[in-house]
Structure 1
Amino acid sequence: MSATQPGRLMSAEMAEQPAVLRRLLDEGAGPIRETAARIAARGPRFVLLTARGTSDNAALYAKYLLEIQAGKPCGLTSMSVTTAYRARQDLAGCLVIAVSQSGGSPDLVASTTAAREAGAITLAVTNNAASPLAAAAEYHIDVLAGPERALPATKTYTAELLALHLFVAALRGADGVRAARPLPDLAERVLAREAEVRQLAARYRFAQRMVLTSRGYGYPTAKEAALKLMETSYIPALSYSGADLLHGPLAMVDNVSPVIAVVTDGPGGEALRPVLDRLRERGADLVVVGPGERVAAASGGFALPGDGLPEELQPLLQILPLQRLAYEVTLARGQDPDAPRALAKVTETR
């Protein structure tokens, strides 16, 4: 691969994802299980998640896991409460999970430090065990994704999802590894279908705006896909829960509005069904990423393998063609996905 080829870094790191998932299952599951057991023994009553950017979408995925699988009340924090307003909180009995690829963002470190001082159990989930965030938290989970050189995060996102799945399963005393074992092989099958995604990308080359929607476990995937499209191709991509889309934003959808629906095989996908019906009524250019029968009923899409894969693990496959879509659309528009403007690996928010 040429050193000057546009997108070579992002492409290489997308291709690494099956290997990263295998490494996390083989080498990371044991330490994650031990960390979860120590935290579970302390009996946290509720959970707060804190993150930015791509990791914020991984944190939203963890919120669904924690509320549905572990029965823990859970919220996403506003870091400015601590870093800008200097508010003091009583976090006794609370588990605070900070998710960050680099572990270097100052506001994440500051808010985690403040949470620990306020009595919280603190856990950092990063790709850098030597990071300031890992040092600030009482516990740490390494997602083992290896060095990430591309500015758009790909392999660290799927590694965060799997690490959080393994953690939440272990937190409630379950085995998260067995259900996840098919993921690396399934990911290889999805990533091998580059030509399909390239063909799909052709319809979005001149798009002025895109809408992505889902419900339940698929919603973080819609948000992450929108982020990837915006940061690489600069297309304004709006992500909505299917329920929120019906409460007003549906009015902007017409027969020239590209809409991508992320459909899981499970309750979230069923809840999205009436949203898909309304989108078809409006004549939307609807593409579905999900089960084959849902794709067949749309104007286009990407059918995913994995019959029997639990709904909570399907997002690890759903994001793969959407990462590739962002990459292919960016190349089609004559831009380099490795060099998005105004993007840095560590974002210095405070």
Structure 2
Amino acid sequence: MSMASPGQHMAAEIAEQPAVLAGLVARRTEFAEVAKVIARRPPRFSLLAARGSSDHAALYAKYLIEVLLGLPAGLVSPSTVTLYGARPDLRDVLLISVSQSGGSPDLVEFTETAREQGALTVAVTNTPGSPLDQAAELTAHLGAGPERAVAATKTYSATLLALYLLLDAVRGGDGRDAAGLGELAEQALEASVQRAVDRYRFVDRVITTGRGYSYATALESALKLAETSYVAARAYSGADLLHGPVAAIDEDTAVLAITGSGRGGEAMRHVLTAVSERGADVLALGSASEQVPASVRLPVPSVPEELAPVLEVLPVQNLALGLALARGGDPDRPRGLLKVTKTR
């Protein structure tokens, strides 16, 4: 039996994403059914529970909830329940628990407790029948198929789109803005990352940054680079980057900046001017990447700003894969990492 080549699983799963995203759009009526239940029990506010890449997807959902639904939203700290035994009053609260495996014990316990404490609970997972599914009152499934690589790729983008379809339906939308996302994902994946791989293969320190919806992409980018290529990567909101951390940026720093065509991308312009003046090597990624100072640009198709993170992350995944292979690693088997978060 032949051994799998390095990165084989990650590459295959990255390539599956256009079909996975198109499949989700085709199933948007399923998310609309879940949304109807939420609409019948309108929450005072929403909470989101997640770990790892799913936590970045949850941050994206926080923006969706606050901007599209006009509700306060926050990310929970599961240990308040699992370690400290807190029992908060969650009547008239919507809890969305996000986990591609659906098997994280702390998320399961937090979801069970939240349901007991009065919350309307929704599980967003890639594993039907998982413990998280059973803990929650409502479920929304990704349908992305098994993911063999340790680094989440197709389950991450699928989670973003599933959350968008769900929350768009809650506000009364029909998901029409996402209709062509599968084809646009193909275009985003066609963009060559080779120049970026060649330029940054020896980099030791990377700052990733973005604003608004795209801050989630900055966080996911840092995680992908760290877990596949062992790069010291740190994510900052563009606003926070200028409040102190910019002092550590110099000509030895690579900055991966998410620059879309919406308000978040517009707010990044003065940030990139500042880091460029400090000599940073900027890789601009996004639908507005041609409009900012940068050494390398990775454009993606333009979509409504609230959907941009679904496409922005795709070239990042290819970049992480390419850098890992160029540095002699195997992103399918990163050192010391597990697929399922087992924290309690």
How many residues align? The count is 343
- 1: CA distance, partners of 2:200 / 2:291: 18
Alpha-carbon distance change, 105 to 95 in structure 1, aligned in 2, over 3 angstroms: same
Once the two structures are TM-superposed, the CA of residue 199 in structure 1 deviates from its matched residue by 2.0
Residue aligning to 2:171: 172
Question: Which whole-Å CA distance do the structure 2 matches of 1:132 and 1:298 have between them?
Answer: 46
Which of 226, 231, 239 is the aligned partner of 2:227? 231
Q: TM-score with structure 1 length normalisation? A: 0.96
Contact 2:204 2:232 in 1 (8 A): yes
Alpha-carbon distance between aligned partners in 1 of 2:5 and 2:308, rounded to the nearest angstrom = 32
Spell out the pairing of 1:290-309 with structure 2 (5 A cutoff).
290-292=286-288, 294=290, 297-306=293-302, 309=303
Contact kept, 8 Å, 1:127 with 1:144, in 2: the verdict is yes
Q: CA deviation at 1:283?
A: 1.3
Residues 145-184 of structure 1 mapped to structure 2, 5 A cutoff? 145-176=144-175, 178-184=176-182
Contact 1:217 1:264 (8 Å CA) reproduced: no
TM-score in terms of structure 2 length? 0.98
Residue identity opposite 1:319 in structure 2: V
Question: How big is the shift at 1:293?
Answer: 5.5
SS in 1 for 2:85: coil
Q: CA deviation at 1:39?
A: 1.1
Q: CA RMSD in A?
A: 1.1
**Shift of the alpha carbon at 1:303?**
1.4
Q: How far does residue 294 in structure 1 lie from its aligned partner after superposition?
A: 3.5
Q: Quote the Cα distance in structure 1 between the aligned partners of 2:240 and 2:278.
A: 16
Task: Verify: 1:20 aligned to 2:20, yes or no.
Answer: yes
Equivalent position SS for 1:261 = strand
Pairing of 1:259-298 with structure 2 (within 5 A): 259-292=255-288, 294=290, 297-298=293-294
Q: Distance in 2 between the 1:295 and 1:204 partners?
A: 21
Deviation at 1:191, TM superposition (A): 1.3
Equivalent in the alignment of 1:84: 83
Name the CA distance, whole Å, in 2 between partners of 1:190 and 1:324: 10
Query: Structure 2: which 5+ runs fail to align?
Result: none
Aligned residue runs from structure 1 range 308-319, under 5 A: 309-319=303-313
The match for 2:140 is 141
Work out the CA distance in 1 between the residues paired with 2:264 and 2:6.
Answer: 37
Off by >4 Å, runs of 4+ in structure 1: none
- 1:187 — aligned with what? 185
User: 2:261, 2:288 within 8 Å by CA — same for their partners in 1?
Assistant: no
The aligned counterpart of 1:58 is: 57
Deviations 1:246-301 (A, max 9, x none): 11110110011000100121111111111111111111101100135645631211
Answering whether residue 68 of structure 2 is matched by residue 74 of structure 1, we say no
Q: Using the alignment, how far apart are the partners of 1:113 and 1:280 within structure 2?
A: 48
